[in-house]
Amino acid sequence: MTETPWAHLPNAVHIDRILGSLEAHPEKWSEAWSAAHTAAHTAAHTAAHTAAHTAAHTAADGARSEAWSEAWSAVVAWDDAVVAQDAVAALVAWDDCAYMLDIPEDALKVLRAVGSQPAVLLSVAAKVLRAENI
């Protein structure tokens, strides 16, 4: 197995999980994005995505920035990958957010309500992964 450029990151296994799900079930990601795309979600998403992008690119080590670019490129290859891009962005930018992929929706709702940017970016991915049970 070829090691990915993001293999050294704490959330590498979760980035691989997102990419694997996207490859196996692209239609679920497209459906999830359509269902979640409301005006409120768009505003929160834009702020969170900008923060993740900035955090990943301004990280102290160049390896994180390189991993960001490589993981981003892997996701962008898919047409309906906006939600997967969000998840990868969060997982690269915040080392401590992977648990959000596995917590109940009610807990994610609370995190979103208190302004957690990773929760905003990971919510739809968590829904897709729960549905796939992976």
Is 76 inside any structural domain? Answer: yes
- Specify the pLDDT at position 90: 87
Is residue 92 within 8 A of residue 9, CB to CB? The reply is yes
Is 57 inside any structural domain? Answer: yes
pLDDT classification of 17: cutoffs 50, 70, 90 = very high
Query: Residue 37: pLDDT above 80?
Result: no
Is 7 inside any structural domain? Answer: no
How far is residue 123 from each of residues 1, 65, 104, measured CA to CA in Å? Answer: 30, 23, 10
Is 43 inside any structural domain? Answer: yes
Please give the residue range of the domain that contains residue 22: 12-132
Q: Tens digit of pLDDT for each residue in 53-96? A: 677 666 555 666 677 677 767 666 665 566 788 888 889 888 99
Q: Tens digit of pLDDT for each residue in 103-123? A: 999 999 999 889 888 898 898
**What would the two tokens of residue 14 be?**
């979760």
Is 4 inside any structural domain? Answer: no
Which conformational region is residue 94 in: left (phi greater than 0), alpha (psi within -120 to 50 degrees), or beta?
beta
Is 6 inside any structural domain? Answer: no
Q: How many domains does the chain have?
A: 1
Distance, in Å, from the CA atom of 122 to the CA atom of 98, rounded to the nearest integer, reads: 9
